[in-house]
Structure 1
Amino acid sequence: MPNTYLRTLRRSALLWPLLLLGMVGVSFRQFRATVSAQEWESSIRAFERQDKVHPVPPGGIVFTGSSSIAYWSSLAEDMKPLAVINRGFGGSEYTDVNHYADRVVIAYRPVAVVVYAGDNDLASPGRKSAQSVARDVQQFVQIIHSKLPETWIFVLSIKPSIARWNVWPEMKQANQLIQEFLRTQDRAAFIDVASPMLDQRGRLSDDLFVADALHPSAKCYALWTSLIKPILLERLASARSQLFSPQERPKASDATASGH
């Protein structure tokens, strides 16, 4: 009896720290989600003020997500003749994108949305698991398609980086789970921008990143453009008349002459 009692005490002593750590982890994630929901409000309101001055016509392509999108200053030029709008907000995670989806995606009634996130999710303190990020992507798809069932959703793979190379295994796992999910969805596709960033030895080149070894350089964005743009043009061919930016949109006579 005493031995049994002592064993029970020892197990309890081992179990309580684990339970407390689990509770702290959950509490941190809940706290992070709450803070994030408020953290980006000023950025989202800035977008909305901009839209009042320069209204965005429906039917374009929204790019949204974290800083890899927000810092893509050449996006509009790179994607010509497609009409695109950049609604990335730096440092965000998928939970943030989901929280603001109504205001950064659905409000524009786009023919397509291209999203990049997951990078911060897997690298931040109290970071999520690959499975958790994949579930957040599922939620994003559900949010968009519940209100815009005809809108195409293109999810960019989570990129490797020199600064976060230590979490690349988790990123690869998340990418695989996300890709598997998207294969089951209509009007949704996975675009792998990560694999082409690696050389034949599976390593990254310094010139794909700016000085912080984290954010994409102009060379990296050029690579991404070569991967993303052809897919958008191919998948969205039926909505081609809506996709041209105003200065690139063909005249009626041109459309008639080409037989479209």
Structure 2
Amino acid sequence: MTRLILIPLLCAFISMDAQERIIINDDQQFIAFLENSLENGVANSEITQMFYQRTWDYWRKHMIDYNQNPEKYSKVLSLYYQNQQKYKRNDSIKIDRFENQIESFRRFDNRNTLAKNPVLFIGSSSIVFWETAKSFPDLPIINRGFGGASLQEIIHYYDDIVKRHSPSILVVYCDIDIERGKSPNVAFSAFKELVNKVRKDFPLTQIFLLSMKPTLVDDFIQKDVSINKVATNRMLSKYCDDERNLHYIDITNMMIKSDGRVRSDIFLTDGMHLNQLGYGLWDPIIRSKIMSLTK
């Protein structure tokens, strides 16, 4: 019986492969694909992987138009979210999945004389891709962003990426928890846990918590990612208002145009990570805050 149920959905996938894996670029065709995926098949790991490969092809091609005209995609997005409930991915992580990257940091730190009292950048891929030494050549910069690190992974490797460097200023960016479906309350609690660890070891360290950035693909990652980023940012902002040596840095306003749409020219082709122009918007904000604290 299971094999019979799988046939319509598998045929849909096979027909796409027969067309040389052409990107789904017709809205009606994509709607038909989503309706067929929802009604047929069993959501095993293989079918789930194929589903996300096909849908990402579509969203990658349409993300700029969606950002400009989201109302055109209401039906498509509704069907997509329904399918996401059916084709759920395993979002669990192994806490040591980035051990190789951390070991590279350990070896580098053991071989080199590093800056004392540095401005230390930590976090997920937005920190990894940020060429911080070039952005702030006159400052004692250390960058210890790794992978697509979640806050719990950052906390897990705290001794390696934070404690051993005794930062004078710590810059933190992480949106992975929200993008993996965690609630704003869970993400906020993890930020507080990290801040408490830093304060215990370095009570004079100035801590910058950067706002979670909007991207062109937030709505395609999971439902409510955009909403939950905004909610978490509000919580972080309020938290920093009442705390000594803790600063909320809003790096999102200049990423949004006057009509409320996210700028599309500041991202790499994946619609998620910033290009040089995007980081060029962040640099003066961070520099200004650092200078205000080091005069």
The answer on whether the counterparts of 2:241 and 2:247 sit within 8 Å (CA) in structure 1 is: yes
Runs of 4 or more consecutive aligned structure 1 residues displaced over 4 Å after TM superposition: none
User: Is 1:88 aligned with 2:142?
Assistant: no
Task: In structure 2, list runs of 5 or more residues that go unmatched.
Answer: 1-89
When the two chains are superposed, the root-mean-square deviation of aligned CA atoms in Å is 1.6
Selected match of 2:177 from 121, 126, 131: 121
Q: State the AA in 2 paired with 1:122.
A: I
In structure 2, the residue matched to 1:156 is 210
Listed as ranges, the gaps of 5+ residues in structure 1 are 1-27, 238-260
How many Å separate the matches in 1 of 2:278 and 2:194?
A: 26
Q: Find the counterpart in structure 2 of residue 101 from structure 1.
A: 158
Q: Number of paired residues? A: 203
1:45 aligns with 2:45: no
1:200-246 deviations in Å (ceiling 9; x for gaps):
11111211100100001100100000111110111133xxxxxxxxx
Secondary structure in 2 matching 1:38: coil
1:228 is aligned to 2:286: yes
Q: Partner of 2:81 in structure 1?
A: none
- Pick one of 270, 273, 276 that aligns with 1:212: 270
CA distance in 2, matches of 1:182, 1:93: 21
SS at 1:56's partner residue? coil
Kept in 1, the 8 Å contact 2:128–2:146? The answer is: yes
Q: Which has the higher contact order (CA 8 A, sep 6+)?
A: 1
Instruction: State the SS of the aligned residue for 1:212.
Output: coil
Distance 2:248 2:186 in 1: 17
Q: Tell me the secondary structure at the aligned position of residue 154 of structure 1.
A: strand
Scaled by the length of structure 2, what TM-score is found?
A: 0.66
TM-score (norm 1): 0.75
Q: Are 1:186 and 2:244 counterparts?
A: yes
Question: Post-superposition shift, 1:55?
Answer: 2.2
Q: Distance in 2 between matches of 1:132 and 1:145?
A: 20
Check conservation: 1:67, 1:90, Cα contact below 8 A: yes
Q: Distance in 2 between matches of 1:211 and 1:72?
A: 16
Give the 3-state SS of the residue equivalent to 2:193 in structure 1. helix
Residue 110 in 1 paired to residue 167 in 2?
yes
Question: How far apart in 2 are the matches of 1:97 and 1:38?
Answer: 10
Q: What residue identity is the alignment partner of 1:121? A: D
SS at 2:203's partner residue?
coil
Shift of 1:57: 3.0
Find the aligned partners of 2:232 and 2:213 in 1 and give their Cα distance.
11
Cα distance in 1, alignment partners of residues 208 and 162 from structure 2: 13
- Give yes or no for contact 1:61–1:110 (8 Å, CA) kept in 2: yes
Aligned-pair CA distance for 1:103: 1.2
Amino acid at match of 1:169: I
The one-letter code sitting in structure 2 at the alignment partner of 1:58 is K
Give the CA deviation at 1:175.
0.3
**In 2, Cα distance between the equivalents of 1:133 and 1:236?**
30
* C-alpha distance 196-214 of structure 1, shift in aligned 2 (>3 A): same
For 1:87-133, what per-residue CA distance to the aligned partner results, in whole angstroms no more than 9, with x for missing partners?
0002111111111122101110110110100x221122xx1001111
Q: CA–CA distance in 2 between the matches of 1:82 and 1:57? A: 9
Matches within 5 A, 1:31-42: 31-32=92-93, 35=94, 37-42=95-100
Q: Is the 8 A contact 1:60 1:85 kept in 2?
A: yes
In 1, the alpha carbon distance for the partners of 2:259 and 2:185 equals 27
8 Å contact kept, 1:68–1:90: no
**Shift in Å, 1:79:** 1.2
